[in-house]
Amino acid sequence: MKIGPHYDVVIIGAGMSGLAAGIRLAHFGRRVALFERHNAPGGLNGFYSIGGRKYDVGLHAVTNFVPPGVKGTPLGKLLRQLRIDREELGLCPQTGSRIAFGPRGETSLRFTNDFAVLEAGVADRFPREIDGFRRLAAFVRTQDAVSFDAPVGSARELVREHVRDSLLEEMIFCPLFYYGSSRERDMDVGQFKIMFRALFLEGLARPFEGVRQVIRVLTEKYREAGGERHMRCGVARIAARDGRAAALVLDDGTETTADHVLSSIGSAETLALCDPSLPAATPVPTVAPSKRLSFVEAIRVLSAQPAALGLGTETIIFFNDSDQFSYARPDAQVDLRSGVICLPNNFQFGERQLPEGLLRVTALADHGRWAGLPGERYQVDKRRWFEELTAVACRFLPAADPAALQAATVATDMFTPCTVERFTGHLEGAVYGAPLKNPTGRTHLANLYLCGTDQGLLGIVGSMLSGISMANLHILEPAARGRTLA
State which of residues 51, 52, 69, 355 lies at the interface with another protein (CB under 8 A).
Answer: 69
* Closer residue to another protein (CB): 350 or 482: 482
* Closer residue to another protein (CB): 62 or 445: 62
* Closer residue to another protein (CB): 84 or 418: 84
State which of residues 17, 45, 63, 81 lies at the interface with another protein (CB under 8 A).
Answer: 81
* Closer residue to another protein (CB): 108 or 472: 472
CA dist 251 and 236 (Å) reads 5
* Neighbour count for residue 373 (Cβ, 10 Å): 16
Name the segment binding another protein (CB under 8 A); options: 204-212, 272-280, 381-389, 469-477: 469-477
Q: Are 72 and 144 in contact (CB under 8 A)?
A: no
Question: What is the closest distance, in whole angstroms, from the C-beta atom of residue 85 to another protein in the complex?
Answer: 7
Tell which positions 86-105 bind another protein, by CB under 8 A.
86
State which of residues 280, 288, 304, 476 lies at the interface with another protein (CB under 8 A).
Answer: 476
* Closer residue to another protein (CB): 76 or 190: 76
Question: What is the closest distance, in whole angstroms, from the C-beta atom of residue 44 to another protein in the complex?
Answer: 25
Tell which positions 367-406 bind another protein, by CB under 8 A.
none
CA dist 22 and 461 (Å) reads 15
Tell which positions 260-279 bind another protein, by CB under 8 A.
none
Question: What is the closest distance, in whole angstroms, from the C-beta atom of residue 481 to another protein in the complex?
Answer: 6
How many residues contact another protein, by CB under 8 A?
Answer: 20
Name the segment binding another protein (CB under 8 A); options: 57-65, 82-90, 162-170, 378-386: 82-90
* Closer residue to another protein (CB): 239 or 476: 476
Question: What is the closest distance, in whole angstroms, from the C-beta atom of residue 472 to another protein in the complex?
Answer: 6
Tell which positions 195-224 bind another protein, by CB under 8 A.
none
Single-letter amino acid, residue 406: Q
Question: What is the closest distance, in whole angstroms, from the C-beta atom of residue 282 to another protein in the complex?
Answer: 30
State which of residues 51, 52, 375, 482 lies at the interface with another protein (CB under 8 A).
Answer: 482
Residue 481 in the binding site for another protein (CB under 8 A): yes
* Closer residue to another protein (CB): 80 or 232: 80
- In 3D space, the residue among 194, 195, 193, 164 whose CA is nearest the CA of residue 178 turns out to be 195
* Closer residue to another protein (CB): 68 or 127: 68
Question: What is the closest distance, in whole angstroms, from the C-beta atom of residue 77 to another protein in the complex?
Answer: 8
Residue 79 in the binding site for another protein (CB under 8 A): yes
Residue 477 in the binding site for another protein (CB under 8 A): yes
Terminal-to-terminal C-alpha distance of the chain: 25
Question: What is the closest distance, in whole angstroms, from the C-beta atom of residue 87 to another protein in the complex?
Answer: 10
State which of residues 22, 74, 76, 93 lies at the interface with another protein (CB under 8 A).
Answer: 76
Three-state SS for the chain is CCEEEEEEEEEECCEHHHHHHHHHHHHCCCCEEEECCCCCCEHHHCEEEECCEEEECCCCCECCCCCCCCCCCHHHHHHHHHCCCHHHHCEEEECCEEEEECCCCCEEEEECCCHHHHHHHHHHHCHHHHHHHHHHHHHHHHCCCCCCCCCCCEHHHHHHCCCCCHHHHHHHHHHHHHCCCCCCCCCEHHHHHHHHHHHHHHCCEEECCCHHHHHHHHHHHHHHCCCEEECCCCEEEEEEECCEEEEEEECCCCEEEEEEEEECCCHHHHHCCECCCCCCCCCCCCCCCCCCCEEEEEEEEECCCHHHHCCCCCCEEEEECCCCCCCCCCCCCECCCEEEEECCCCECCCCCCCCCEEEEEEEEECHHHHCCCCHHHHHHHHHHHHHHHHHHHHHCCCCCCHHHHHHHEEEEEEECHHHHHHHHCCHHHCCCCCCCCCCCCECCCCCEEECCCCCCCCHHHHHHHHHHHHHHHHHHHHHHCCCCCC
Q: Are 461 and 202 in contact (CB under 8 A)?
A: no
Residue 72 in the binding site for another protein (CB under 8 A): yes
Name the segment binding another protein (CB under 8 A); options: 75-83, 121-129, 344-352, 412-420: 75-83
Name the segment binding another protein (CB under 8 A); options: 40-48, 133-141, 279-287, 470-478: 470-478
Q: Are 164 and 132 in contact (CB under 8 A)?
A: yes
State which of residues 116, 272, 284, 480 lies at the interface with another protein (CB under 8 A).
Answer: 480
Residue 83 in the binding site for another protein (CB under 8 A): yes
State which of residues 3, 5, 54, 80 lies at the interface with another protein (CB under 8 A).
Answer: 80
Residue 472 in the binding site for another protein (CB under 8 A): yes
Residue 28 in the binding site for another protein (CB under 8 A): yes
State which of residues 71, 142, 355, 374 lies at the interface with another protein (CB under 8 A).
Answer: 71
Residues in CB range of 464: below 8 A, 6 or more apart: 16, 17, 19, 20, 78, 82, 218
Which residues make up the interface to another protein (CB under 8 A)?
A: 27-29, 68-69, 71-72, 76, 79-81, 83, 85-86, 472, 476-477, 480-482
